[in-house]
Structure 1
Amino acid sequence: MDKFSDMVMFVSIVKHQGLAAAGRELGLSPAAMTARVQALEERFGVKLLNRTTRHLSLTDSGSLYYKTCIEILDTVTEAENLIQSGTKEVKGALKIIAPKDIGKQYILPILSDFIRQHQGVVPYLYLNDHVLNIAESGMDIVIQYGEQMDSNLISRKLSSSRRVLCASPEYLRKHGTPLIPHDLVNHDCLAMLRSDEELKTWHFQDPDKKSSIRVEPKRFSDDGEVIRRWALEGAGIALKSILDIQDDPNNHRLTTVLNGYMKNFDSSTSVSSANLNVVYLSRKYQPKRIKLFLDFLFQEFQVRLSPYQSQ
C-alpha cells in the first residue's frame, strides 16, 4: 500500500477508536487492518498504537504520526479544492467540541453564522462537559474550561471567567443564604460528575486563606446544563462558571452567594483554571477553514459578551 493510503487508514483508526470500525469505513476486514498496522509499525520500527480488547490509544510516536497525517491530508484536500474550483474555496469538515452550556449559548449561533458565510464547510459540533485528549479524538478545536498542559497543543484564552455559587431566589428565601463556605454543609448542593468522579469537594480562597468544603449534594449530573436547570428550579446551590449563567442573575432568575471568595473544583483556585480556552493541534500549515473559524470565533465571542461586560 502507498503512504497516502496508510495515512488515511491511520486517521480513520484514531477517529473510530478501533480497527474494526475503521475497516468498515474503508472496506477492509479486521485481519487486513491488523496486517496493515503491523506493516506500518515494522516500516517505522516503532509502536504506533497501544491496543487492548477494549481500548486503543496512541503512543508518543503514534501521536506524532497522527498529527502529521492530519496536516498532510488537509493540505491535499485544499490543493484538490483549488485545482477543481480555480479558487481557494473553503471546504471540508470542521470538528468542534464544547461544554454544553457554552456550546448552546454561544458556539452554536457563532458556528451557524460562520457556515452561512462558508457553505462548503461541514460542521460537526459535539457538546460534552468532559475534557478529552484532542490528539486521539479527531477534533479540530476543543473549547474547555481550564489550562492545557500539553506543549504540543496551542491553547488560547477565549474569555476570562470565574466560578460562582448560585441559587434561585426562592431557594434562598426558603433555606437562607450561606455567609461563609462552611455554611454549605447545611444546604442542598448540586454537584458535577467528571468521569464518574463526584465533584463534591469545593475549594475557596479569600484574601487571607484557602479552605476546602466537602458538601453532601442532593443531586448529581455530568451535564452542566442540567445543573443550571436544577438551580433555576430551586433544587439547591450550584458551582458554575459565570459565563454559563450570567444572563440569569441579570434577570433575577439566579442569585450568586459567597461573592467574596474565589471558588473552584480543584485545589489551585487559580483564576486561569476557570477561564475559557480554545485548544487545537499545533500545525505549521493549518487548514484555512480552521484559521478562518478561529478568527471568527474570537471576534464574535467578544461581541456577544459585550452587553454583559459593559454592565
Structure 2
Amino acid sequence: MKLEDMELFVLVAELGSFTKAGDYCDMPKSTVSRRVKELEDSLKVRLLNRTTRALHLTQQGEVFYQRAKTILDDIARIQNEVATEQATASGRITVYAPSLLFHVFARWVTQFRKDFPNISLELLSRDDNAPLADDKRFDLLFQAGTLEDSSLIAKKICDIPGGYYASPDYLAQAGTPETPNDLVNHDILFRELVHGEEPKWQFKDQDSEYIVQLEPSVITDSPQGLLALAKSGAGISRLSDIHAREPLENGELVQLFDGRYKMQVPIYALYPSRRYMPERVRLLLQFLETELPKAVNQLLSR
C-alpha cells in the first residue's frame, strides 16, 4: 500500500467523485479510478460502492477513511515539526572531537551559546581516527591529520602547530639530537592515531622532505599520557604547541632543533551530508570556520 494512494482515496472520499479528485490533482479520471482499485486490491477489501451518479463509502471504507485521515494528519504534523526544527537555530548538536580541541573550544563555547541560546552542545572526546561505531549518532566529527577514505563530507577548519619536545632531565642523560636522523639513537614516545599505525615522522628541510622510521620505546593513543611521559623524562615526543606551551614556559620541556622543524596538523570537520543540514549545525560550522583559527592563535600568543 502506497501513502500516495491513501491520500488519493481520502480526497476521492471527501469530494465524492473520481472526476473532481482528478481535476484537483491534475490527473485523468481513469488514473484516479485505477489507483483506488489498486489500493482496494492491496487491502483485499472494497472501499467504495460505485454507481453512475455517485460514490459511497462501504462500511470498511468508512473505517479506513477515518484511520487514514488520522495517519495523514499525523504525518503532516510531523513534517511540519521536523521542517520547523530544521530551519530554526534550536536543538542539540552532538560533536566528537580530539581532547586537544577542548583547550580551544572553551574560548568559543560561551560566545556561541550567547549568540544562539536555544542551541545546546554535547561535546564528546575522541582521540583516535578509528571510525565511529554505527550506533554513535553525531552532527559534527572533528579529526586531526590525514583523512581516510570515507563517505563523510570533510571541510578543513584550521591547523594546529606542533614540534618536538623532551624534558631537560632526559636530554642531560641522553644528549640532544642535532638533526632528525639522530632520533634513531633516542627513546621515542610515539602517539598512534590508528591502532597498528607505522611509527614514523616526516620532516621538511628547505625544499626536500624525508621520513625518519622510528622504533618507539613507548606507544600510546593518549595525548595527555604522551605529555605526562615527556615531562617525566621518558623520551622525545611530538606534541602540539598548545599542549607544550605551559610546560615549555615553566621549564618542564625543551623544544628540539631550535624550533626549526615545525609541523602543522590539519583539523577537519566531518559531517554526514551537505544536503538537509540542520540550521543549527550550519551555524556552528560557520562559526567554527571563523573563530577556531583565531582561538588557536590567541591561545598560543598568551
Contact kept in structure 2, 1:135 and 1:281, CA below 8 Å? no
- Give 1:124 deviation, angstroms: 2.0
| Matched position secondary structure for 1:178 | coil
Q: Which runs of 5+ in 2 are unaligned?
A: 4-77
Whether 1:214 aligns to 2:218 is no
Identity rate, percent:
26
CA shift, 1:2, in A, is 9.4
Deviation for aligned residue 1:251 = 5.1
Paired residue for 1:295, among 268, 286, 292?
Answer: 286
Change (3 A) 1:76 1:229: farther
Give the greater-gyration-radius structure (CA): 2
1:305 aligns with 296
| 3-state SS in 1 of match to 2:276 | coil
Structure 2 length-normalised TM: 0.61
Moved more, 88-97 or 287-296: 88-97
Q: CA RMSD in A?
A: 3.5
The equivalent residue for 1:256 is 255
Give the TM-score normalised by the residue count of structure 1: 0.59
Alpha-carbon deviation of 1:205? 3.5
Pairing of 1:95-106 with structure 2 (within 5 A): 95-102=94-101, 104-106=102-104
Matches within 5 A, 1:168-179: 168-179=167-178
Q: Distance in 2 between matches of 1:303 and 1:262?
A: 19
Matched position secondary structure for 2:289: helix
How far the C-alpha of 1:196 sits from its partner, in A, is 3.1
Between the aligned partners of 2:256 and 2:81, the Cα distance in structure 1 is 52
Which of 116, 129, 132 aligns to 1:131? It is 129
- 8 Å contact kept, 1:184–1:215: no
Cα distance in 2 for residues equivalent to 1:77 and 1:164:
50
Q: What is the deviation of 1:135?
A: 9.6
Q: Secondary structure at the match of 1:239?
A: strand
- For the 8 Å contact 2:159–2:293, the answer to whether it is kept is no
2:129 is aligned with what amino acid? V
Runs of 4+ residues deviating >6 angstroms: none
What is the deviation of 1:115? Answer: 3.2
Counterpart-to-counterpart distance in 1, 2:148 and 2:192: 22
Q: Which runs of 5+ in 1 are unaligned?
A: 4-73, 83-87, 264-270
Aligned residue for 2:285, secondary structure, equals: helix
- The code of the aligned residue for 2:120 comes to V
- Contact 1:181–1:213 (CA under 8 A) maintained in structure 2: no
> What does 1:42-57 align with in structure 2 at a 5 Å threshold?
none
Match of 2:46 in 1: none
